[in-house]
Amino acid sequence: MTPVSQAELSQQLTAQLTQQRQAFDAAPYPSYDERVAHLTTLKKALLSHKTALCEALNQDFGQRCHNDTLLSDIMPCVQNIKYSIKQLKKWMKPSRRHSGLQLMPGKVEVVYQPLGVVGIIVPWNFPVMLSVGPLITALAAGNRAMIKLSEFTPATNQVLRQLLADVFTPEQVAVVEGEAEVAAAFSQLPFDHLIFTGSTAVGRHVMRAAADNLTPVTLELGGKSPALIAPDMPIDIAVDRLIFGKCLNGGQICVAPDYALVPHDKVDAFVAAFKQRFNRMYPHGVANKDFTSVINERQYQRLCSYLDDAREQGAEVIPCHDDARDDSQQRLIPHLVLNSSDDMKVMQEELFGPILPVMPYRNIEQALEYIQARPRPLALYLMSFDTALQQQVKTHIHSGGMAINDTVFHVAADDAPFGGVGPSGMGRYHGHEGFLTFSHAKTVLTKGKLNTGKLVMPPYRGLVQKMMMAFFLR
């Protein structure tokens, strides 16, 4: 977008939304075949642009491994489309509900209508998966969409804009770009639903803006997701299961392990195993082409300031490779932080990068209390083969999602909802729950020629009415 005044910006965005809403009103219930055609064409476009997307993301990040992009951005979208197409006919089918004797003879069903126009605000860390992913679900539910892309991924935005323009008209899917003022104006539009992925702080602003229009929101935020290594878990196995989730995309993932809770007598073993495993995966440190750079100077300086703050307050900061930093290229390999305290920024802020505080604990009760005393995270990771402990954590500890003996990959489950709880977000998408999020579940009561409703109409002194009240209130 060329620079314009705030009023002009709002007018442009409102005009785009009006155009989409008018198109939706003219065709408010796309057929199953139309929805499948949209999804199938989108999948073909994704696959045909996969190399361009990999190259663009590498350009935006300064260094991003193509495999990281294929694995975390493109593959989830392709699999999501396949799954959605497979399930869509069942999702669209009205569901019969129990009518009860008081509504007989009548039929009660729930019809799933498209909401209309969905707004999607995209972060910079996974600009393909977090734009196309919600779009897939919105289209499956029969909606149109406006997508606000991040200003920090201009090369990727260019490819996405072309990709979507090849598949959809602006009346079906529109792409918006711009700085913070564009995002603010976008969040103030009266969408039929708004989904935002980003920080908790910005999520509060988005929700306030949406509230003026009573726009329902799905907020996918973040927080400090703990990885709890139980006493029964061998350290080598724990590190092997944890490390990829921390290193993927340079740790710039909302569900990356944010800190590790480790038995106090196994901290040294954890540090040694983590460093050893990292050096096998990324033997050249910051020069390794498989490890993703920090997205920009601002984020790089933020992470470095967290490490400086921790050192100044007495923490021990341990880089996982001798070649640990390249300030000119914004390259930072994982740093483990020992002896951290709640006064340090590494334990106050979501890290969103290659920093991992290691917190010792004396017993499992202490570790669980530590997690429960803090805001509910987007993800929770338990490393344990103890089934009783697994059950306890599953049922007693709140988090948006959870993985046992793994990290991050639970997000890829096509047939399961993804979302936060409390400060880590609200609402769900992915799978059937996503279809429901972007649909209006309308209850429909249908009656025929026989009208039993008159039996309950005034005057209220009849014998039949008294008998009915006695029957239903017994």
Sequence-ordered list of residues with C-beta below 8 angstroms from that of 259, at least 6 positions apart, any chain: 224, 226, 227, 340, 346, 347, 351, 356, 357, 358, 359
Q: Check if 254 is active-site.
A: yes
Name the nearest CA neighbour of 420 among 138, 217, 135. 217
Q: Check if 320 is active-site.
A: no
What residues does 244 pair with on adjacent strands?
Answer: none
User: How is the beta sheet containing 217-220 ordered, strand by strand?
Assistant: 173-176, 144-148, 117-121, 193-197, 217-220, 425-426
Catalytic residue among 254, 304, 320, 350: 254
Sequence-ordered list of residues with C-beta below 8 angstroms from that of 13, at least 6 positions apart, any chain: 146, 176, 185, 186, 189
Catalytic residue among 220, 247, 320, 350: 220
**Contact (Cβ atoms closer than 8 angstroms) between residue 363 and residue 262:** no
| Cα pseudo-dihedral 458, 463, 466, 471, rounded to 10 | -130
Residue type, 104: M
Burial class, 48, CB count within 10 angstroms (exposed 0-12 / middle 13-18 / buried 19+): exposed
**Contact (Cβ atoms closer than 8 angstroms) between residue 406 and residue 381:** yes
Name the nearest CA neighbour of 352 among 249, 230, 421. 249
The catalytic residues are: 220, 254
